[in-house]
Amino acid sequence: MTYDLILGDYAYSSWSLRAWLLFERFGLKRRLEMVDFKKGGVPEQMPGWAPAKTVPAVRTPEGAILTDSIAIAEELATRHPEAALWPAEPLARATARSLTAEMHSGFMALRTDCPMNLRLAYSGVDPSAAVAADLRRLELIWDHARTTCSPDGPWLCGDYSIADAFYAPVAARIAGYGLNVSGSARAYVDAHLTDPAFRRWRAMGLVRGEVLNRYNKPFDTTDWPGPAPLPSRAAEGTPENAQCPYSGDPSTHMLELDGRIFGFCNGFCRDKTVADPAAWPAFMALRS
């Protein structure tokens, strides 16, 4: 079963990140379209998606249009029970649903004052009282989820679920603006920063699309707090691999890492890999 998925800018569209993570983390097939926030209005760029007027949106194989992130999540969970998008255990599932709904409708101060911007990280940010209240609420409900569900790993309610996909952009905001949270909340944020799927999305955001200054804030910038990427660069030369590790098409664009030359089928495949080589399993398999 393959879906059509339309998204916004990788670096700035927090709701697009949520939807993409549902497909990426749970191995669901999709055909991807993108709108360009630089080109103006979103509805005008998706005329074939009526009645949808925002991103993300999903078209099912039967032609239904899903225009809301919770609707997308619930429909995917219903159609793919084997993927376990929600926890199977009733207590964990109910907790995850509650957290997801609160994220969908809440935390407006954090979302307004600290728009997601995966191209930059800031230091010296003094949050407003309303943002600080949102952070304290996040600490409370995240701790409640982990106490209630007793997960073995870093996620809120057991294995990675819809709830975690919905809170990934929140983690990006806390990290990107250097906001002060408790140790347990910081550990949850760090789990997102090190998650390979999240890192793949951010790598694409660093190299695709233009910088949109309306998302920038007047704070001092600093290094991104996630894992430092392996040092690589665009290069010339004869690659070790004749075919792109992602598409299987002939290698035409090269990068250098550890003195070795690897090839890709186009500039985007190469550049997203240069941005964070270790985030891409197909590339790392070549490097091994």
Q: What is the pLDDT of residues 54-83, one digit of tens each?
A: 999 999 999 999 999 999 999 999 999 999
Instruction: Summarize the confidence of residues 40-62 as an average pLDDT.
Output: 94
Query: H/E element holding 271?
Result: helix 267-275
- pLDDT tens digits, one per residue of 6-26: 999 999 999 999 999 999 999
pLDDT value at residue 195: 98
Do the domains 90-200 and 2-83 match in fold? no
> Rounded to whole angstroms, how far apart are CA atoms 192 and 194?
5
Report percent pLDDT > 90 for the chain: 98
- 124 by DSSP, 3-state: which? coil
What local confidence, expressed as pLDDT, does residue 40 receive? 80
- Following DSSP, what letter does each residue of 134-199 receive, concatenated? HHHHHHHHHHHHHHHH--SSSSSSSSS-HHHHHHHHHHHHHHHTT----HHHHHHHHHHHH-HHHH
Other beta carbons less than 10 A from residue 80's beta carbon: 15
Instruction: Tell me the average pLDDT across 82-108.
Output: 98
Q: For the chain, give every domain's residue range.
A: 2-83, 90-200, 232-287
Per-residue confidence (pLDDT) for residue 106, from 0 to 100: 96
Topology, domain 2-83: Glutaredoxin (3.40.30)
The predicted pLDDT at position 4 comes to 98
Stretch 103-126: mean pLDDT:
97
Contact 189, 174 (CB under 8 A): yes
CA distance 138 to 160: 18
pLDDT of 166 strictly over 90 = yes
> Of 211, 137, 213, 123, which is closest to residue 170 (Cα–Cα)?
137
- Domain 90-200 sits in CATH 1.20.1050.10: yes
CA pair distance 54, 266, nearest whole angstrom:
29
What pLDDT score does 288 carry? Answer: 87
pLDDT value for 207: 97
Helix, coil or strand: residue 125: coil
Compute the half-sphere exposure of residue 117: CA atoms within 13 Å on the CB side of its CA.
23
Q: State phi, psi for 30 to the nearest 5 degrees.
A: -150, 155
Write down the mean pLDDT value for the chain.
97
**Among candidates 38, 69, 40, 63, which has minimal Cα distance to 50?**
63
